Structure 1
Amino acid sequence: MKKVLVLGIGNRLMRDDGIGVYIAETLLKENESGEIQYLVGETDIDFCLRVMEGVDRLIIVDAVKSDREVGDVSCHPIEEIGFFQLGISIHDLHLFSIIPVMYPLLHVTVIGIDVECVDFGLGLGQVLELQFPRIVHDVRSMVCSLLDE
């Protein structure tokens, strides 16, 4: 059986940027099957990279900003995300830049939730807060669809 990890990342101290964390926490509480491992990585790159060891399929849930509506859920291969310019120090790197280097054979998909309010503060902005149950449902359905591929 393949080992599948759904990893919620983001910064819960930056309002909507924490959406991936909140979704992973919710799905972890609801997880009955045990077929999928749900974890919260937040902004801890070292932790995130360690838990990927031995994983066959990685699905990252994170906040994105695009031309879509706030609350839209979209799915992208990690190669499409655009964080692949290597900087000159570790502070210039993003998790998405390091994964292909450390785990070149790992199948990685990013489920992105379009956000509005990325600023200092706790909790989601009003738009995402109102849509949260639907967003969790959409992410859960997307994870199931990805596993059927």
Structure 2
Amino acid sequence: MGISRIVRTPTAVSSDAFFFEKDKSQSILVLGVGNYLMGDEGVGVHLIQQMADKPLPEGVDILDGGTGGFLLLNCFEAYKTVIFVDATMDGQPAGTISLIRPKFAADFPTALSVHDVGLKDMIEAVYLMDVKPDIHLFTISVDGVTPMTVELSPEAEAAIPETIKQILTLIAGLQGAFTTTS
């Protein structure tokens, strides 16, 4: 008896108009990035797809940023707080979840594919903006990428529910801190 895996078809989470039709300065954006067609490199996008099926706290938006680059810059202007999710090959065991508070673009781990160039350049641009969002970066360690597959390794797949739990815990703390300082 073999193990069956469910391969999810990506769904559109939202259109750009949704994000900018009203003031988002008090909202939190969870932004998953990566290449969905490169196996574990797309774990951030897979995470967003799973979050789309869950009830989210008020004032939280999610976005599949794909390989984004400069196209995501408007998000950093609109949101006061951005939570990134991305894969990294950082030498940690596959499936390791880390939370980084990047202060500079150089603090972002090396990405795994072509989205590295656009993402790093976009982050450099974010740090040049007059008003910078509060950025939190969740990384999921992976052993490598597998071109032309949407399947995740068991380690990356297993890390998604725990990462979502940690993101929701962070959001609760951020929202609690916001209400006590408002």
Please give the range of the TM-score, normalised by the shorter of the 2 chains. Answer: 0.7 to 0.9
Q: Secondary structure at the match of 2:106?
A: coil
Gaps in structure 1 of 5+ consecutive residues: 85-90
**Count of residue correspondences:** 143
Question: Does residue 22 of the first structure (1) align with residue 46 of the second (2)?
Answer: yes
Q: Is the 8 A contact 2:26 2:80 kept in 1?
A: yes
Query: What residue in structure 1 maps to residue 150 of structure 2?
Result: 122
Relative to the length of structure 2, the TM-score reads 0.65
Contact 1:27 1:140 in 2 (8 A): no
CA distance in 1, matches of 2:132, 2:94: 32
Could you tell me how far 1:92 is from its partner in structure 2? 4.5
2:91 maps to what in 1? 67
Counterpart CA distance in 2 for 1:36 and 1:54 is: 13
Q: Which of 101, 106, 109 is equivalent to 2:136? A: 109
Structure having greater relative contact order (Cα 8 Å, sep ≥ 6): 1
The 5-angstrom pairing of residues 24-103 of structure 1 reads 24-79=48-103, 82=106, 92-93=117-118, 94=120, 95-102=122-129
Distance 1:110 1:73 in 2: 10
Q: What TM-score, normalized to structure 1?
A: 0.78
Residue of structure 1 aligned with 2:162, choices 106, 131, 134 = 134
Match of 1:12 in 2: 36
Aligned-residue sequence identity (percent) comes to 22
1:34 is aligned with what amino acid?
E
Find the structure with the greater CA-based Rg: 2
Distance 1:26 1:56 in 2: 24
Higher strand share: 1
Kindly report structure 1 stretches of 4+ aligned residues shifted beyond 6 Å: none
Cα pair distance change 1:132/1:32, threshold 3 Å? closer
Q: Any conservation in 1 of the 2:76–2:132 contact (CA below 8 Å)?
A: no
Change (3 A) 1:92 1:37: closer
Alpha-carbon offset, residue 72 of structure 1: 1.3
Which shifted more, 125-134 or 55-64? 125-134
Q: Report the secondary structure of 1:33's partner residue.
A: coil
Alpha-carbon separation, structure 2, partners of 1:111 and 1:140: 12
Query: How far apart are residue 138 of structure 1 and its match?
Result: 3.4
